[in-house]
Structure 1
Amino acid sequence: MTKTATSQSSGGDVRLQGISKTFGSFTAVHPLDLTVPAGSFFALLGASGCGKTTTLRMIAGLEDPTTGTVELSGQDVTALPPYKRQVNTVFQNYALFPHLDIYENVAFGLRRRGIKSVKKQVEEMLDLVQLGPMARRKPQQLSGGQQQRVAVARALINKPQVLLLDEPLGALDLKLRRQMQLELKRIQTEVGITFVHVTHDQEEAMTMADTVAVMNGGRVEQLGAPADLYENPASTFVANFLGTSNLIAAEVVAVSGDDVQVTAGDAKLRLPAARCSATLAAGEKLLAGVRPEKVSLAHADDAEAIPDGRNRLPARIKDASFIGVSTQYVIDAGALGALAVYEQNIERDGRLIPGADVVLHWNPAHTFGLDAAQDISAGADLDEEAA
């Protein structure tokens, strides 16, 4: 899709330098430096209380930073009130005017600025969010997803350099939320302006964003493209919070080129040195991580058929949950604890039931290594309500 002249002529870089926020003795956001490139879809992801919404509100001018500066397109706006910043915010409750129809809700910002001829701009914006035929309906006559699109149109018609989205899909049911994730991404691609999106929903962040900043305790734990964060978590918090990870306590035996050999209980495993953030020397402890969908299950009777060169762990099935597209297994790996395995339901083995002895096996290249000094369960059971 071609980007509009509106988006091409605007800036949109967001740069936070040394920005922090304290409320009394509580530090909501520790000093952080963050740059959001113009035209990108950027997500601040984290659990309740991590500081993501406070960070968004400082960009919007709704909170004054305790330290640091906020720059938009190279301009220091730290001291400017919200209405003097080239940003607009879409909130979870949409904040539409119930007494105005959709057309007038979208036109509101233009009329407030004294613009007389609004018809063309409003119609273009309603077409962008695919609500043209509903222009004369009231908000209460629309679904939640349609109201959300009206809120986006009302914000975008003001031609902001940056659109801030504060848990915009939180009030929608799961199916509609997934539809709206794709819809918002389409809109952002079409208009080409910077979107900064706050969410506690990992799938939402990974579906929509070009770049994700995972926040924890008022700090950015890791920053990167969704696939990179998922495949190469830098901490146990990111490994556990962004999806599910099996983290296995292990000890380094030897390092040979790019190959690291470790022992985990009685098992010997291998992993790439390039995927290790832990110290690599014989005798050092590390956590060997592997995602549940990367692991295969073989019944113990078929162990000899497992190809050579794969990591393998003997274990026993503790529980199995059929969820349609896959079966999720809880595996008892003895001293190594409980592990998760997700297998697609393509050719189900009827012997893989609770109590069955099995061998877990996977490609060593799918293993990552983390510093064992971290909390192995960090981020695993966080409250998923919006901050």
Structure 2
Amino acid sequence: MTEQTTGTAIPAPTPAETSAPAPAATPAAGGGDVRLTGIGKTYGTATAVHPLDLTVPQGSFFALLGASGCGKTTTLRMIAGLEDPTSGTVVIGGQDVTALPPYKRPVNTVFQSYALFPHLDIYENVAFGLRRRGRKDVKKQVEDMLELVELGPLARRKPHQLSGGQQQRVAVARALINHPQVLLLDEPLGALDLKLRRQMQLELKRIQTEVGITFVHVTHDQEEAMTMADTIAVMNAGRIEQLGAPADLYENPATTFVANFLGQSNLIPAEVTGASGDDLLLTAGSTRLTVPRARCTTDATRVHLGVRPEKITLTHADADIAEGRNRLTGTVVDSSFIGVSTQYVVRTDTGQELAVFEQNMDRDTRVTAGATVLLHWNPAHSFALDAAQAIDAGTTEGDA
């Protein structure tokens, strides 16, 4: 959701941002968890969100991650009460809020556009929700909130005198001062440049840790989700593809979509030909490879063997390699120096192009475009997925 204001027009405050959260019912087991049960949304014959079950633990930083049109924002808006679900229930802190309007839910929402009041200074922007509720003595609460977001010295400035990141922190402070059980963030950093966005990722995580309330954050940015979230739900076509901690999703993707969308993966078509101890034996073209049985998600014999670009070591073809490592030979077709690393594209003997990321430490000057090279990696860094899945799922906007 993107709102813009022009001139001195006053942006209309949304109920979710400015009204007092309704007192929650006495929490049942699960405390302040957000529980979605069978929640779904259709628009005519189009399905935005297929019925899904999801629990967001109290006090966690939770991310809904996916590309445009995957259903993540619609899911957030159903939690906020800004969209009525076609099916299912929304329970927050043990209270069924499915039928409640936004202003009666114990949530506040921060959008990509900050929608600050341009004629009010920062202090009064943050105090707005309390004053709207008839509170007279707001000084201590506003000062505490401005200290939390590290904007105390700027309290009497107007929004146009602040940077984008500072304005975003004001929007967060204005939402948090009402003490919601859950703060919902809809692409809150999308309007910021890359450097400022990375700074704000750390700031939001710090704020969430300090206040200890549940944050549910919608984003299309994989790095943003992995930097901030305790748990990520990767969404695709209105469904949750995989749910878990960032490191687990990255190291152990369950589908080709997750492997490609969360970071970058090399997926190599291969066939399972046997087993040796805890390893599966594979062939890719005429090359033999292995993968731990525990890192194979399927019983199928045709698989996609996956390995992340940074897990691969690239050497000149005449280098000595330790036994037991997976290896492929190929030719460098492209290289890009990006500072911290060099990114290579290598066409292997199987005819497939693989990406390799090498840190810029002791670079082999012989590894240039046209050079014959050897790629090798620890088999434990591989994973195997059912080849019935599209090998390029998650690589384009259309897959979302």
TM-score range, shorter chain: over 0.9
Match of 1:365 among 380, 384, 396: 380
Aligned to 1:244: 264
Aligned to 1:382: 397
After superposing on structure 2, the runs of 4+ consecutive aligned residues of structure 1 that deviate more than 6 Å are: none
Are residues 1:300 and 2:317 paired?
A: yes
Match of 2:189 among 169, 176, 179: 169
Are residues 1:290 and 2:315 paired?
A: no
Aligned to 1:66: 86
Match of 1:311 among 326, 334, 348: 326
The question of whether the paired residues in 1 share the 8 Å contact of 2:284 and 2:350 is answered with no
Q: Which amino acid aligns with 2:104?
A: K
Are residues 1:198 and 2:215 paired?
A: no
DSSP 3-state at the match of 2:50? strand
User: For 1:334 and 1:255, how far apart are their aligned partners in 2?
Assistant: 24
Q: Which amino acid aligns with 1:269?
A: L
User: For 2:373 and 2:223, how far apart are their aligned partners in 1?
Assistant: 31
User: For 2:138 and 2:280, how far apart are their aligned partners in 1?
Assistant: 64
Q: Which amino acid aligns with 1:309?
A: G
The question of whether the paired residues in 2 share the 8 Å contact of 1:265 and 1:336 is answered with no
Q: CA deviation at 1:383?
A: 7.1
DSSP 3-state at the match of 2:318? helix
The correspondence of residues 99-178 of structure 1 with structure 2, limited to 5 A, is 99-178=119-198
Q: CA deviation at 1:257?
A: 3.4
User: For 2:48 and 2:179, how far apart are their aligned partners in 1?
Assistant: 31
Are residues 1:323 and 2:338 paired?
A: yes
Are residues 1:91 and 2:91 paired?
A: no
Deviations 1:314-351 (A, max 9, x none): 11101000000000001101434110000000001111
User: For 2:358 and 2:383, how far apart are their aligned partners in 1?
Assistant: 20
User: For 1:258 and 1:22, how far apart are their aligned partners in 2?
Assistant: 46
Are residues 1:354 and 2:369 paired?
A: yes
Q: Which amino acid aligns with 2:318?
A: D
Match of 2:58 among 24, 30, 38: 38
RMSD of equivalent CA atoms: 1.4
Match of 2:199 among 155, 166, 179: 179
- For structure 1, list consecutive stretches of 5 or more residues without a partner in the other structure: 1-8
Q: Which amino acid aligns with 2:370?
A: G
The question of whether the paired residues in 2 share the 8 Å contact of 1:264 and 1:336 is answered with no
Aligned to 1:6: none
Deviations 1:218-260 (A, max 9, x none): 0000000000000000000000000000000000011233211
User: For 2:88 and 2:298, how far apart are their aligned partners in 1?
Assistant: 32
The question of whether the paired residues in 2 share the 8 Å contact of 1:278 and 1:372 is answered with no
Q: CA deviation at 1:278?
A: 1.6
Deviations 1:149-194 (A, max 9, x none): 0000000000000000000000000000000000000000000000
Aligned to 2:360: 345
The correspondence of residues 270-289 of structure 1 with structure 2, limited to 5 A, is 270-279=290-299, 284-289=301-306
DSSP 3-state at the match of 1:335? coil
Aligned residues: 372
TM-score scaled by structure 1? 0.94
Q: CA deviation at 1:29?
A: 0.1
TM-score scaled by structure 2? 0.91
Aligned to 1:4: none
The question of whether the paired residues in 1 share the 8 Å contact of 2:328 and 2:349 is answered with no
DSSP 3-state at the match of 2:68? coil
- For structure 2, list consecutive stretches of 5 or more residues without a partner in the other structure: 1-25
Aligned to 1:255: 275
User: For 1:12 and 1:214, how far apart are their aligned partners in 2?
Assistant: 23
User: For 1:383 and 1:261, how far apart are their aligned partners in 2?
Assistant: 34
User: For 1:377 and 1:39, how far apart are their aligned partners in 2?
Assistant: 36
The question of whether the paired residues in 2 share the 8 Å contact of 1:249 and 1:336 is answered with no
Are residues 1:226 and 2:268 paired?
A: no
DSSP 3-state at the match of 1:125? helix
